[in-house]
Amino acid sequence: MKEIKIYSPATIANVSCGFDVLGVCLDNVGDEMIFRQSEQKGLRIVEITGADLPLEIEQNVAGVAGKALMEQLNPNFGIEMIIHKKIKAGSGIGSSAASAAGAVYGINALCGYPLTNKELIYYAMQGEALVSGAPHADNVAPALLGGFAFIRSYAPLDIISIPAPKELYATVIHPQIELKTIDSRSVLKQTVGLKQAITQCGNLGGLISALYTEDYDLLGRCLHDEFVEPKRSLLIPNFAALKQVAVKCGALGGGISGAGPSVFVLSRGKQIADCVASEMRNIVKEADYQCDIHVSPINPKGIKELI
Amino acid sequence: MKEIKIYSPATIANVSCGFDVLGVCLDNVGDEMIFRQSEQKGLRIVEITGADLPLEIEQNVAGVAGKALMEQLNPNFGIEMIIHKKIKAGSGIGSSAASAAGAVYGINALCGYPLTNKELIYYAMQGEALVSGAPHADNVAPALLGGFAFIRSYAPLDIISIPAPKELYATVIHPQIELKTIDSRSVLKQTVGLKQAITQCGNLGGLISALYTEDYDLLGRCLHDEFVEPKRSLLIPNFAALKQVAVKCGALGGGISGAGPSVFVLSRGKQIADCVASEMRNIVKEADYQCDIHVSPINPKGIKELI
């Protein structure tokens, strides 16, 4: 293979009670990336559209992730990468992760797939480290594996791929406000009550069970986050109202996507997910900020190869 | 049915990272209980063997649980209960829970099974409250449901029954030392680090996943408790050595059963579970306390009716 074009999807990290451990893959929001073999060795980003991002390898998440993998695989050809960003940066739906995961997927493909998608996660994480300071996997893992990805541990890296119940849809609203990661992080407490921690464990264990048994009601009962949402949601305009309309439409529940400002809602079936989107639109109509709203099934496979 | 004889099994609560949320049912350690219809209405305990326990309904966990159910079902006959205790009190393998769960099972059976075993949990918990101060479900639920029982929430009561992987065995050592529940509780901190809490969530989610996928290796990787074991294990003689021999035998891992002093180890297959038992015996041979050691498959159904 001399050239490949891929679709690298958006993802939701920090899925409610799965704070820092659970991510899920969206299906119809994502970047396109093209990879071409070149005679000149090494990795180059030759074009970026849709976002004002640096072409320099060391300053670009796709570059950093891709370079880490190239050093490992050491192919006897070079690779040129073109990135068409469709996921807005800072939206909280894994924009940088899509770039990093896409980069390692494309490079691995041009090299003849020596590594599995699970093995690629480590390299994609190196790109994520550039933007967030620490390598984290809860966006890159679902982008590469599809469905839900559960991060059991970072040392050693231990990631479990869990299929999503088939009728599950996500509605994501991205209010176009600036929410600095530093603000998002500063509301995190360094300790939690033992009782809260046990409540979180109860909901998380229930959620994992619900995914395996496709028990939508149980899934809905588990979508509560004790650790972060109570504080972080205060930084997101209309958060309570957005969750409230989700309940009104019959959705299962939701929370903050990643570190925000996007808010996600999970529903059984497209009809409810569409209802949530429409009601959310009504809420923000009066607000003095713009927003994007996406309705998406869960993407079962992650990154896709385009013709 | 005028009379029924049942076998009410021992259980392990606080299954490692499942502190306060996960219990599992043993197969070959348990009490026998007999229930007979009587003309005189109400519930009476007519005989207890194997333990010095009160016959008075209000002072006996089986009595309190049974009475709570009798008041709900209001049968037009009375019930006499005989308890043959085989599980030692204070052992940390659900001795009181076996009595409470057995009582409600037997009464429900004589009344023609109006309630499901899941519905009986609430009544069994009322008996548990007598000994522990607060009604808890992590022993009575696995005794009534078999396999693993996951307590998602107490308010409302939300319990998930999870089948155990088929080759799973437990080795339980009960050192016959007195470990007061008050000491066991006093080592609990009221707060935990956020990082620790996330580690616990990672292991718990992994453990739940491992149960559904019968992934024994993953199960083993998840058997770590951040919340309680580091402190509580200091009250249990030879704890580190007992865990060490388990690893040496190739076991998956283990922890403190309930609030102790029993220690449990989970293994894939009877051979490893037997090896653990034998090595544990060597460790305590030199010690100045007696101990019981049990090797048991996981009981998939919970309480059994005997002929």
Give the pLDDT of chain B (307 residues) as one tens digit per residue.
Answer: 899 999 999 999 999 999 999 999 999 999 999 999 999 999 999 999 999 999 999 999 999 999 999 999 999 999 999 999 999 988 899 999 999 999 999 999 999 999 999 999 999 999 999 987 788 999 999 999 999 999 999 999 999 999 999 999 999 999 988 777 667 778 888 999 999 999 999 999 999 999 999 999 999 999 999 999 999 999 998 999 999 999 999 999 999 999 999 999 999 999 999 999 999 999 988 777 889 999 999 999 999 999 7
Question: In whole angstroms, how far apart are CA A163 and each of A168, A296, B120, B201, B290?
Answer: 11, 16, 33, 19, 48
- Within 220-239 of B, beta carbons closer than 8 Å to A belong to 221-222, 227
Asked if the C-beta of B217 comes within 8 angstroms of chain A's C-beta atoms, the answer is no
Is there a contact between A204 and B199 if contact means CB atoms under 8 Å apart? no
The pLDDT assigned to B181 comes to 67
Start-to-end CA span in chain B (Å)? 12
Of B152, B193, B199, the CB nearest to A191: B193
> Nearest CA of chain B to the CA of A305: how many Å?
29
| The pLDDT value given to residue B110 | 98
Pairing of strands B43-49, B22-38: unpaired
User: What is the pLDDT at residue A299?
Assistant: 98
Size of interface A-B (CB pairs under 8 A): 128
**CB-based contact A92:A258 (threshold 8 Å):** yes
CB B246 within 8 A of CB B2: no
Q: Mark yes or no for CB contact A205/B209 under 8 Å.
A: no
Contacting A residues, span 183-202, partner chain B, CB-CB under 8 Å: 188-195, 197-202
User: What local confidence, expressed as pLDDT, does residue B183 receive?
Assistant: 74
- Calpha distance A257→A15 (Å, rounded): 7
Residue A171: enclosing H or E segment and its boundaries?
strand A168-175
Give the minimum alpha-carbon distance from A1 to chain B in angstroms, rounded to a whole number.
36
Catalytic sites of A, residue numbers: 128, 181
10-residue mean pLDDT series, chain A (307 residues): 96 97 97 97 97 96 98 97 95 95 98 98 95 89 98 97 98 88 78 97 98 98 96 92 96 96 97 97 86 96 94
Chain-wide mean pLDDT for chain B?
95
Q: Quick one: pLDDT at residue B280?
A: 95
Q: Does residue A45 sit in helix, strand or coil?
A: strand
Q: Could you state, in order of their start, the residue ranges of all structural domains in chain A?
A: 3-162, 168-297
CATH numeric code, A3-162: 3.30.230.10
Nearest CB among B152, B212, B218 relative to A202 is that of B152
Identify the CATH assignment for A168-297 out of 3.90.700.10, 3.20.20.70, 3.40.50.300, 3.30.70.890.
Answer: 3.30.70.890
Inter-chain residue contact A191 with B192, CB threshold 8 Å? yes
Question: How many angstroms separate the CA of residue A12 from the nearest CA in chain B?
Answer: 17
Give the nearest partner residue to B204 out of A205, A212, A213, using CB atoms: A205
Alpha helices in chain B (DSSP H): 61-73, 95-110, 117-132, 140-145, 181-186, 194-213, 216-222, 229-232, 239-249, 270-285
Phi, psi of A111 (to 5 degrees): -85, 0
Task: Copy the structure tokens of residue B286.
Answer: 């030199």
Catalytic residues of B: 128, 181
Nearest CB to B198: which of A21, A198, A202? A21
Residue B225 neighbours by CB distance under 10 Å: 21
The CA distance from A184 to A203, in Å, is 23
